[in-house]
Amino acid sequence: MGWLLLGAPAWAIQAPSEDVRALVRHLDVTSFPNSIGPRREPGRHHFADYGFTRITWKADGADLELEDRSWLMSVGVVARHGRQLDVCLVDRALAAPGALFGGSYHVVDALRVVMSNADRWRAERVHGGLPGCIDDPPDDRR
């Protein structure tokens, strides 16, 4: 019981905030440039629609992976301004030998997400990054 008074130990899993759960459920991954682009299909808009069903929850974000763990999309909420979230997105893949899609890559993008009552929350890339999220690679030519 004593550890409750001092806070949870570092190894304890923290429950995600409601903003994080809603972001994972509602973010329209087709509303901003990312590696899903070549696979976009009509009627598919969310992480789960593209196979990102393995979720590791964090207090301020979530890691979403394909079942084979070959592709990771990680989201982290860095700030909230009313009905807008500042989000850091990590998009990482490691092509397996004989894979049909692309090579290995690792990109970090800062996003502004407009929260709404609709099923699809739109995002736009914030060139140059945000406090707590620096674009990597830093140039705007991607």
Counting the structural domains of the chain, the total is 1
Domain-located, residue 33: yes
- Containing H/E element for 4? helix 2-6
The Cα-based distances of 129 to 48, 108, 110, 117 in angstroms read 26, 9, 5, 26
Domain-located, residue 130: no
How far is residue 52's CA from residue 71's CA, in Å, rounded to a whole number?
Answer: 8
Domain-located, residue 40: yes
- Give the pLDDT of residue 12: 45
How far is residue 27's CA from residue 51's CA, in Å, rounded to a whole number?
Answer: 14
Domain-located, residue 113: yes
Domain-located, residue 39: yes
Residue 56 domain boundaries = 18-125
The per-residue pLDDT string of the chain (142 residues; one tens digit each, 9 = 90 and over) reads 333 334 444 444 567 789 999 999 999 999 999 988 888 899 999 999 999 999 999 999 999 999 988 899 999 999 999 999 999 999 998 766 665 655 678 899 999 999 998 899 999 999 989 999 999 887 554 4
- Containing H/E element for 19? helix 18-26
Domain-located, residue 12: no
